[in-house]
Structure 1
Amino acid sequence: MREITVDVETWPIAGAFTISRGSKTQAEVITVTIREDGATGRGECVPYGRYGETVKDVAASIRVIGKAIADGMTRDELQRAMPRGAARNAVDCALWDLEAKQRGLPVWQIANLPEPQSLTTAYTLSLGEPNAMREAARKAAARPLLKLKLGGTGDDIARVAAVREGAPNATLIVDANEGWKADDVLPMAGELARFGVALIEQPLPAKDDEALRGLACPIPLCADESAHGLEGISRLAGLYQYINVKLDKTGGLTEALSVMRCARRRNLKVMVGCMVATSLAMAPAMLIAQGAEFVDLDGPLLLAKDRAHGISFEGSLMLPAERGLWG
């Protein structure tokens, strides 16, 4: 008989994390722990209000399915029993971790994936006034890949110009978090191209992204809030050149693996992203990030502290996770 526990944890952010929809100073995560015959598996998720999730509701939905998990529900059965989203992510990753501990094999071997190698992650600069973002960029100028949060206002070009001044050699990704209007995309992209921006993430609200179809944009576009699981990937292939795969959206590693394969078949390139969370959430994401064009798994770097056995970072280089953490 399995035992499952659900814990809500609060992790302080170093300073504040600000995007176009608001600002926060702490990350609330839900940790699922499954124990069976002396082995322990863990998974972590971040409920996201943008998708109608609350910490209370996500924790409650995990507890509801807890009896079925305790009775031996498999990962495949879980995909049918729960909708994709944060709750399923935590349970799915805990089941992967539990199996790895029980079999004495790393998850990458069980899933027939390549052995994980070190990865270079983007480092996120929160939305702010141009001068503040310039200073943040200067402090992060040694990092090779910076991701800028933009706000959908007339200051966005000034923000990018300021960051480019502060970090002249970094590759830049900009993330509008659905903050632009359809008529903004081409003029903004033309301006941003002058600063060497490599990718624009989710320029429009997901409900409006049909306006991107056939757009001759000088910078590749990446779907984030428009990309969730397997459903809808075919449509995205006509709107975007990249998709951002996050385990809290796909509902765990199991569907994320399928999403990666489907994206490749549709000639979509991939960014693997995260919410602001601890290394426990990054470890499974690192497995799918091995084949991604862009990696954005800087969650632990944005926290004031990480959990024990957290992923080691050498600047922006992520070392493979210890099995004592996950997998």
Structure 2
Amino acid sequence: MTAQRQRILSAVEDPLPFKAPFTITGYTFTAWPVVVARLETGGPAGEGEASGVYYRDENPAAMLATIESVQEEIEAGADRQTLRNLLPAGGARNALDCALWDLESRQAGRPVWALAGLEAPRPLITTFTIGAADPGKMADDALGYVQARSLKLKLTGDPDLEAERLRAVRKARPDVWIGVDANQGLTPDTLEALLPALVDCDVKLLEQPFAIGREADLEGIKLPLPVAADESVQGLADIEALVGRFDIVNIKLDKCGGLTEGLMMVAEARRLGLGVMVGNMAGSSLALAPGFLLGQLCDIVDLDGPVFISRDRDPPVVYEDGHVSYPANGWGGGA
């Protein structure tokens, strides 16, 4: 017997072209396709956007197929906790989870932050990301982020080139907090060679230096700066194994499958004495909005995805004085 529908679920792909090519370890992107899930009830509707996890080969076609596989359950009234049992972590679950939060908010007439037991959101200092390029180009990009108080540099693994990049950016912007993201591109040897430049340039964070599966290599290295796990932590179940190797957990909703699990991850990381960072894959302001709420609980915020795309959604996120904020009348606003 087919369950009676309480909602109508739809999902579509949106290509979201980049303003310019963007390079990290092993990849250059010119667009960032996303999936938008929408739940309609005849009254309020909820939406969620997800881009999936590129290094897990998630793509819009796969995410759409995954969403379709649970359409009957979602339309019959499955809630967010049931969704965690229906689907594994990833982009499809993120889109649905965030659409469910948005729908609940609009049906209740209360913002998501209140439903989640959070305080009213405040603007947050965010990093602005500089893709790996020629050192001079990266320095120019750093100068282009006039308002930035915090920059994150993408690295690709060559310690000599990375040192040049770091010194060029630090010379251009002596005033900002700098973190670096290796995206699994370093080894113990190349990290050791890079350490003097990290210290000289006063780098405050090293993100995901080694490949997934090589986390134990961090145990024998004394580092003068905190290390964040990104690719090495996909969801809640991965956090405990980070203790003693990493200092900070980078939570991205596309990885963990939505705001519901993201909130659980913050609580678990804090319980284990780890710092917390919120990041985002590229995407529009619709994807950033739930991450912005999670960022209210985090030590480091990296929410600059909409900066790179050539068109955004309404209402757009606001970047001002190095801070990010999201309008109260947008996703999860309760109106």
TM-score bracket for the superposition, by shorter chain length = over 0.9
- With normalisation by structure 2, the TM-score equals 0.95
Return the letter of the residue paired with 1:272. Answer: V
Of stretches 183-192 and 258-267 in structure 1, the one that deviates more from structure 2 is 183-192
Q: Is the Cα–Cα contact under 8 Å of residues 250 and 256 in structure 1 kept in the other structure?
A: yes
Q: Name the CA distance, whole Å, in 2 between partners of 1:32 and 1:44.
A: 6
Q: Is the Cα–Cα contact under 8 Å of residues 52 and 91 in structure 2 kept in the other structure?
A: yes
Q: Name the CA distance, whole Å, in 1 between partners of 2:308 and 2:91.
A: 20
Equivalence for 1:16: 21
For structure 2, list consecutive stretches of 5 or more residues without a partner in the other structure: 1-5
| Matched position secondary structure for 1:151 | coil
Q: CA deviation at 1:214?
A: 4.8
Of stretches 199-208 and 302-311 in structure 1, the one that deviates more from structure 2 is 302-311
Return the letter of the residue paired with 1:224. Answer: D
1:283-309 CA deviation, whole Å, 9 max, x = no partner? 111111012111000011122221111
Q: CA deviation at 1:215?
A: 2.7
* Candidates 56, 65, 68, aligned match of 1:63: 68
- With normalisation by structure 1, the TM-score equals 0.97
* Candidates 25, 39, 55, aligned match of 1:34: 39
Q: Is the Cα–Cα contact under 8 Å of residues 311 and 322 in structure 1 kept in the other structure?
A: no
Of stretches 143-152 and 175-184 in structure 1, the one that deviates more from structure 2 is 175-184
Are residue 228 (structure 1) and residue 234 (structure 2) matched? yes
How do residues 133-152 of structure 1 correspond to structure 2 at under 5 angstroms? 133-152=138-157
Q: Is the Cα–Cα contact under 8 Å of residues 88 and 257 in structure 2 kept in the other structure?
A: yes
Q: Is the Cα–Cα contact under 8 Å of residues 141 and 166 in structure 1 kept in the other structure?
A: no
1:84-122 CA deviation, whole Å, 9 max, x = no partner? 111100000000000000010001111111111111110
Equivalence for 1:180: 186
Specify whether residues 219 and 165 from structure 1 end up closer, same or farther in structure 2 by C-alpha distance, changes over 3 A only: same
Are residue 103 (structure 1) and residue 108 (structure 2) matched? yes
Equivalence for 1:281: 287
Q: Name the CA distance, whole Å, in 1 between partners of 2:219 and 2:295.
A: 27
Q: Is the Cα–Cα contact under 8 Å of residues 223 and 243 in structure 1 kept in the other structure?
A: yes
Are residue 127 (structure 1) and residue 171 (structure 2) matched? no
| Matched position secondary structure for 2:185 | coil
* Candidates 196, 200, 219, aligned match of 1:194: 200
* Candidates 123, 135, 138, aligned match of 1:118: 123
Q: CA deviation at 1:326?
A: 3.4
Q: Name the CA distance, whole Å, in 1 between partners of 2:142 and 2:300.
A: 19
1:185-216 CA deviation, whole Å, 9 max, x = no partner? 23323321110100000000011111102532
Q: CA deviation at 1:59?
A: 1.1
Equivalence for 2:82: 77
Q: Name the CA distance, whole Å, in 2 between partners of 1:127 and 1:38.
A: 46
Of stretches 85-94 and 303-312 in structure 1, the one that deviates more from structure 2 is 303-312
Of stretches 312-321 and 53-62 in structure 1, the one that deviates more from structure 2 is 312-321
Q: CA deviation at 1:315?
A: 4.2
For structure 1, list consecutive stretches of 5 or more residues without a partner in the other structure: none
* Candidates 41, 45, 48, aligned match of 2:50: 45
Return the letter of the residue paired with 2:283. Answer: A
Aligned length: 327
How do residues 247-258 of structure 1 correspond to structure 2 at under 5 angstroms? 247-258=253-264
| Matched position secondary structure for 1:206 | coil
Q: Name the CA distance, whole Å, in 1 between partners of 2:236 and 2:55.
A: 19
1:48-101 CA deviation, whole Å, 9 max, x = no partner? 230131221111100111111001111111001100111100000000000000
| Matched position secondary structure for 1:192 | helix
Q: Name the CA distance, whole Å, in 1 between partners of 2:284 and 2:317.
A: 9
Return the letter of the residue paired with 1:115. Answer: A
